[in-house]
Each structure stands twice: as structure tokens, then as C-alpha cells.
Amino acid sequence: MQRLLERKYFYFAVFWTLFITYMSLVTIEKVNTSIINIPNKDKIVHFVFYFIFVFSWIKVFNSDKNRINLKIVVIAVLYGIIIEVLQSVFTTNRQADIFDAMANALGALTAFLFLRYIKNKS
């Protein structure tokens, strides 16, 4: 049963990684979001994307070792930076944004700390 659960996490983590890649690199026409007026709402999306990214990959490896989980965080941060660079290279309406990369990193680190906190509580 545990093995099946880990496999589900793996499939979700791969799906989520591909989803982030697609959503970051696809050209999206400007959508009117004036009814939702939240300052820097794209940073919230970046945070959530990378929180889920790290959360799901840590669940895949199901490790109690902080060293492995921190490697996942580092990989996520590097992945977010690479995606930002690719946006400026391969898309016509997007550019690299240091604040997006910072939101990605904050989401990744928060997921690590959240899971560590939950594990220490139990």
C-alpha cells in the first residue's frame, strides 16, 4: 500500500513539474483580470507552484533526512531560475524576473520547513 502511495506521489510530482514548465513557457494572451485586484498576484502563483513542487517531490522520496530534502529545495530553486531564463529566451511576451525567482525559492523553502515542522510534531 505504501509503495502504491509513493507511486501516486511520483506521477503527481512529474505531472506538476511538467505543468509548471508548460505554464511558464507557453505564450498566454493577456487575460483581463481586473475584477481580481490583488497586488503581485503572480508572485503568489509562483510561491504556490514551487511549494507544491517541493512538497510533492519530498513525498516521492519519503525521506527523513534533511540533506536529501534540502537537495530537492536546491533543485527546485535552480529549476525556477532556469525557467526564468528560458522565458526571456523562448517566449515573446515574457521576461526573466528576479522577483519571480525569489517567490519560487520562498515557496520551495516554505514547503521544506512546513514538512519538517509537521514531521517534528508527530
pTM: 0.87
User: Are the C-beta atoms of residues 97 and 69 closer than 8 Å to each other?
Assistant: no
Could you read off the pLDDT of 33-50 as tens digits, one per residue? Answer: 556 666 778 899 999 999
Could you read off the pLDDT of 4-26 as tens digits, one per residue? Answer: 667 899 999 999 999 999 999 98
Could you read off the pLDDT of 47-105 as tens digits, one per residue? Answer: 999 999 999 999 998 877 888 999 999 999 999 999 999 998 888 888 888 999 999 99
Confidence (pLDDT) at 90: 84
For the chain, domain boundaries: 2-31+41-121
40 conformational bin, left if phi > 0, alpha if psi -120 to 50, beta if neither: left
Confidence (pLDDT) at 37: 66
